[in-house]
Amino acid sequence: MKQGIRMLATAAVLTAGLASAAFAAEKKYTIGYDNYFMGNSWSVQLAAEFKAEAERHKDQVDVVYVESAGDTQKQIANIEDLITKKVDAIITTPTSPTALIPALKKARAAGIKVILLASTIKSQDYDALVTVDDVAFGRAGAEWLVKQLNGKGDIIVLNGIAGLSTSDDRFKGAKEVFDKYPDIKIVAAVNASWDYAQGKQAVSNLLAANPKIDGVWSQGGAMTLGAIDAFEAAQRPLVPMTGEDNNGYLKRWKALEGKGFDSIGTSKPTWLGSEALLVTIKLLNGETVEKDMILPVPTITAADLDKFVKPDLSDSFWAGTRLTDDQVKAIFAN
Amino acid sequence: MSANAYLVRMKPAPASLRAVVLLVLLLAAFFVSARVFSPLLLLDNIRQAAPLGVVVLGQALVLMMGRLDLSVGATASMANIVLCATFNGDMANLVPALALTLGAGALVGLANGIMATKLKIPAFLATLATSMIVAGLVVFFTGGSPRGAVPAQFRAVTEAWLFGIVPWSALIWLVLLIGLMLLVHYTMLGRKMILSGANLVAARHSGIPSDGLIVLSFVLCSLLAATGGILLSAITGMASIGVGNGFTLDSIAAAVIGGALFSGGVFLPLGAMAGALILFVVQSLLYLLALPPAAKFIVQGGIIVLALALASFRKGRSS
């Protein structure tokens, strides 16, 4: 008799378990995540943030990962592949503002939600865009710099790569600010590819040619590091410079704080990767989301530098993260 | 060989001199736009051009053998990753870090050489393939997020100046340049290499082990590319993926500006040095003039055309 009851109970539990599993499977979404590039630490962390968020929602979503390796042709093929797999939504970071449009159109025609992460296209063929505004990114640094210089001084500008929207938009935002102050003079605006060595080469030559430079507006932390080293090599006192939220830069800033160096770290946060998944789930649940989610640019100032700098982590870590300390350590332990 | 013959061989080739003249003209424009004449500024540019300059020496050596190495950029980038990872910011790791980095470089060269000789794969395809494999391995092993750093003391290699006037990196560049010049132009081994590069069939008929010499040139080239990567790492101090990739095209352009011929048989170390400096100073000049980067490619292309046109103009007149 006892045995019989136990069997019945077991059966009941089993049935309940099966039923709930079936119920969950019904509600579970399949999301295609296109890992656009794995060639730099920012893109690696962007993908890691997404993965961590997907792990937190693993009862709600299954993820199909594809790798595009920075190759637009491959990205198109990957999206076609995800369409064939009949995923519910595709999250992608377009490597071209135009080339992906036909594939994304096709995806939407098949009833798949398209979410753009950190980069956009020149059409309306998407359901949501999750990014920060690069114009605002440039503006934030420029406003800080103008304030440091009391609206007056000779500055140099370090841009990324002319023609890329990130670089052009950031400079556009900065220029809007500088144009309002007639006493701010841009003595040179150069393109140094967001690269340390090129930034250093540019600044060391500009220092030789310009006895007076009062500030540096840079749209990348590596270039700012190059600028700092060029100033130090030329034995010129450091001037206010704008930077970014990468750990290598924050560490250096921290070390120079005592010498009167001041900076600002503007951020295109990698947690956009996590945000993209949250937006996708909302979309699939039928909730309305803002189509263009242009988030405000987070900044780090001297006041909260200590909160963001991680002396025990590698230089390639980015401070704008939602990863836990353990997850960060697993990727960026030095 | 008489002392006189040595002196004759010391005389720079016309192609080298043309590159030097081009460099002097460019420097004049550079100092005018900087509005300051300072030898220190020139030395500072030489200091920063050293990584490219060392890579160009290797490329010139492979070009002398009538081959092309498209993997120097990937090899220099790999050297940066391996060096930073093994150094891990601690000067105590100096010997293993250098040994492992140069060893990995030599392996790439060995693979290139064997593919180009034993497997008879055209060198530019073989080296293109290795560059892809090397770049892929780097991303695979780092997961896209490279680790480690170059210790501050080691960065003196490119950042410090001997007696405050001569940058160490310029000295390293010069020593490697003279070493290669002596090897190629003043040893029997080097002369056999030139002959193999100029006329492979004739060299084989004379019993010269040309295949081995070609492998040797690829190994030396990759070692120099890794050295360039090490110098670049001293400049940047950090590990970043693909940091030396620009060296591939720049090294070919610089070697050609410096008088190297795709047909092989020519090794002009002075020209190679001038070619590397021309490319670097052009970049500095563009920064000073704040010209867009597109201008860099146009100017670089223009200089290559000018250098080659000058060469064929001279040839046309003398023949």
- State the pLDDT confidence band at A19, using cuts at 50, 70 and 90: very low
Set of chain B residues whose Cβ sits within 8 Å of the Cβ of A39: 139, 144, 241-242
Flag whether residue A167 sits within 8 Å of chain B, measured between CB atoms.
no
Cα separation, A248 vs B177, whole angstroms: 35
Evaluate whether residue B4 is within a structural domain. Answer: no
Region of residue B311 (phi > 0: left; psi between -120 and 50: alpha; otherwise: beta): alpha
Cα separation, B268 vs A154, whole angstroms: 44
Q: Is the pLDDT of residue A3 over 70?
A: no
Tell me chain A's radius of gyration from C-alpha atoms: 24
- Alpha-carbon distance values, B15 to B23, B63, B284 (Å): 12, 15, 24
Flag whether residue A209 sits within 8 Å of chain B, measured between CB atoms.
yes
Candidates B44, B236, B287; nearest CB to A197: B236
Give the angle A132-A138-A144 at the CA atoms, nearest 5°: 115
Could you count the other beta carbons within 10 Å of the beta carbon of residue B130?
A: 23
Flag whether residue B242 sits within 8 Å of chain A, measured between CB atoms.
yes
- Alpha-carbon distance values, B67 to A227, B113, B198, B252 (Å): 39, 10, 11, 11
- CATH of residue B237's domain is 1.10.3470
A-B CB pairs within 8 A amount to 100
User: A298: which DSSP letter?
Assistant: P
pLDDT at B158: 86
Cα separation, B283 vs B15, whole angstroms: 22
Cα separation, B22 vs B234, whole angstroms: 29
Set of chain A residues whose Cβ sits within 8 Å of the Cβ of B242: 39
Evaluate whether residue B33 is within a structural domain. Answer: no
pLDDT at A20: 47
Are B99 and B245 in contact by the 8 Å Cβ rule? The answer is no
Flag whether residue A12 sits within 8 Å of chain B, measured between CB atoms.
no
Inter-chain touch B35–A209, beta carbons under 8 Å:
yes
How many residues are present in chain B? 319
Evaluate whether residue B296 is within a structural domain. Answer: yes
Question: Amino acid identity, residue A223?
Answer: M
Candidates A162, A196, A206; nearest CB to B288: A206
- Point out the least confidently predicted range of A234-248, A258-272, B12-26, B57-71: B12-26
**Domain that residue B280 falls in:** 39-310
How many residues are present in chain A? 334
Candidates B41, B235, B293; nearest CB to A208: B41
User: What pLDDT tens digit does each residue of chain B (319 aa) get?
Assistant: 455 655 556 667 888 888 898 899 989 988 888 888 888 888 888 999 999 999 999 999 999 999 999 999 999 999 999 999 999 888 999 999 999 999 999 999 999 999 999 999 999 999 999 999 999 999 888 877 788 888 888 988 888 888 878 889 999 999 999 999 999 999 999 999 999 999 899 999 999 999 999 999 999 999 999 999 999 999 888 888 888 988 999 999 999 999 888 888 899 999 999 999 998 998 888 888 877 667 777 887 888 788 777 766 665 554 4
Q: What is the ipTM of this complex?
A: 0.75
Judged by DSSP in three states, B121 sits in coil
Go through the domains of chain A in sequence order and give each one's CATH number. Answer: 28-126+270-300 (3.40.50.2300), 147-265 (3.40.50.2300)
- State the pLDDT confidence band at A29, using cuts at 50, 70 and 90: very high
Inter-chain touch A316–B287, beta carbons under 8 Å:
no
Token reading at A225: 């590091």
Cα separation, A242 vs A239, whole angstroms: 10
How far is Cα of residue A132 from the mean position of the Cα atoms in its chain?
8
Token reading at B165: 């006037």
Cα separation, A166 vs A172, whole angstroms: 10
Inter-chain touch A206–B241, beta carbons under 8 Å:
no
Set of chain A residues whose Cβ sits within 8 Å of the Cβ of B288: 188, 205-206, 209
Which residue from A23, A35, A323, A267 is spatially nearest to A136, judged by alpha carbons?
A267
Flag whether residue A232 sits within 8 Å of chain B, measured between CB atoms.
no
- State the pLDDT confidence band at A63, using cuts at 50, 70 and 90: very high
Inter-chain touch B288–A315, beta carbons under 8 Å:
no
Provide DSSP, A235-247: T-----EEEESBH
Element (H, E) at B173: helix B168-186
- pLDDT (tens digit, 9 = 90+) per residue, A65-123? 998 887 889 999 999 999 999 999 999 999 888 899 999 999 999 999 999 999 888 89
Candidates B36, B44, B239; nearest CB to A204: B44
Flag whether residue B144 sits within 8 Å of chain A, measured between CB atoms.
yes
pLDDT at B196: 92
pLDDT greater at residue A260 or residue B228: B228
Flag whether residue A316 sits within 8 Å of chain B, measured between CB atoms.
yes
Flag whether residue A212 sits within 8 Å of chain B, measured between CB atoms.
no
Give the angle A222-A39-A324 at the CA atoms, nearest 5°: 80
- Provide the CB-side half-sphere exposure for A26 (13 A, CA): 6
Token reading at B237: 């101090």
- State the pLDDT confidence band at A330, using cuts at 50, 70 and 90: confident
Cα separation, A63 vs A82, whole angstroms: 11
Flag whether residue A41 sits within 8 Å of chain B, measured between CB atoms.
yes
- State the pLDDT confidence band at A1, using cuts at 50, 70 and 90: very low
Chain B residue with Cα closest to A209: B34
Window 178-217 of B: residues touching A by CB (8 A cutoff) are none
Total domains present in chain B: 1
Tell me the shortest Cα–Cα distance from A34 to chain B, in angstroms: 16
Set of chain A residues whose Cβ sits within 8 Å of the Cβ of B243: 195, 197
Are A251 and A319 in contact by the 8 Å Cβ rule? The answer is no
Cα separation, A321 vs A314, whole angstroms: 14
Tell me the shortest Cα–Cα distance from A229 to chain B, in angstroms: 10
Chain B residue with Cα closest to A312: B148
Cα separation, B189 vs A47, whole angstroms: 53
Inter-chain touch A190–B290, beta carbons under 8 Å:
yes
pLDDT at A69: 80
Are B75 and B108 in contact by the 8 Å Cβ rule? The answer is yes
- Alpha-carbon distance values, A237 to A212, A227, A249, A256 (Å): 11, 12, 18, 12
Inter-chain touch B147–A162, beta carbons under 8 Å:
no
Element (H, E) at B284: helix B269-289
Burial level of B25, CB count in 10 A (0-12/13-18/19+)? exposed
Set of chain B residues whose Cβ sits within 8 Å of the Cβ of A314: 145, 147-149
Token reading at B41: 């500024």
pLDDT at B318: 47
- Between B188-198 and B168-186, two packed helices, what is the crossing angle to 10 degrees? 80
Phi, psi (degrees; rounded to nearest 5) at A191: -105, 115
Token reading at B31: 């100092």
The partner residues of A265 in beta bridges, in order of sequence, read A243, A300
Inter-chain touch A208–B146, beta carbons under 8 Å:
no
Chain A residue with Cα closest to B47: A201
Alpha helices (H) in chain A, listed in sequence order: 2-27, 41-56, 72-84, 101-109, 134-148, 165-179, 196-209, 221-233, 247-256, 272-284, 305-308, 325-332
Evaluate whether residue B237 is within a structural domain. Answer: yes
Flag whether residue B39 sits within 8 Å of chain A, measured between CB atoms.
no
**Would you give the end-to-end CA distance of chain B in angstroms?**
30
Chain A residue with Cα closest to B39: A208
Inter-chain touch B240–A40, beta carbons under 8 Å:
yes
Cα separation, B43 vs B170, whole angstroms: 8
